[in-house]
Amino acid sequence: MTQPAYGSCFCRAVSVTARRPLGRPVNCHCGECRRLSGAAFSTWLTAPREQVVIGNPEGLTCFHPTANLQRAFCKTCGSHVFTLDARLPKVFGFPAGLFEGEVIDPPAKDYFLEDRAAWHRAPD
């Protein structure tokens, strides 16, 4: 049996255990994801909700940036732990960096490249 993927926030107060396989990562270059991550883009993984266990969900606080989105953050360290999208009710969206040390496939796609940061140069 394949071991589940394990991730946590920076302070490890909140954890995520997800049965494999995780969805193939994607990079999102939209302005919201750039502001959320503080980087040129965010790399996302998905997992079916029924295959995920959130450890210490009481350690989370949520923010609703739009009518469709709910973003959950650790109350202690502020790490972004997951996103729920009402348009995709069966999946969690996770920042790929949450799963430090896990073997993750390279991103399959880049979205919203037309919105990418002016200072970001795609690799050659």
If one looks up domain 5-22+43-107 in CATH, what number appears? 2.170.150.70
Predicted confidence (pLDDT) per residue in 94-121, tens digit: 999 999 887 788 888 998 988 888 888 7
CA atoms of 52 and 62, how far apart (whole Å): 18
**What strands lie across the sheet with 52-55, from one edge to the other?**
5-8, 15-18, 52-55
Q: What integer is the mean pLDDT of 89-94?
A: 94
Six token digits for residue 84: 């729920």
* Domain range annotation of the chain: 5-22+43-107
Nearest Cα neighbor of 17 from 68, 52, 66, 59 is 52
What are the start-end ranges of the E strands in 37-113? 42-48, 52-55, 60-63, 69-74, 80-85, 91-95, 109-111
Q: How far is CA 52 from the centre of its chain?
A: 13
Q: Structure pTM? A: 0.86
**Residue 124 predicted with pLDDT over 60:** no
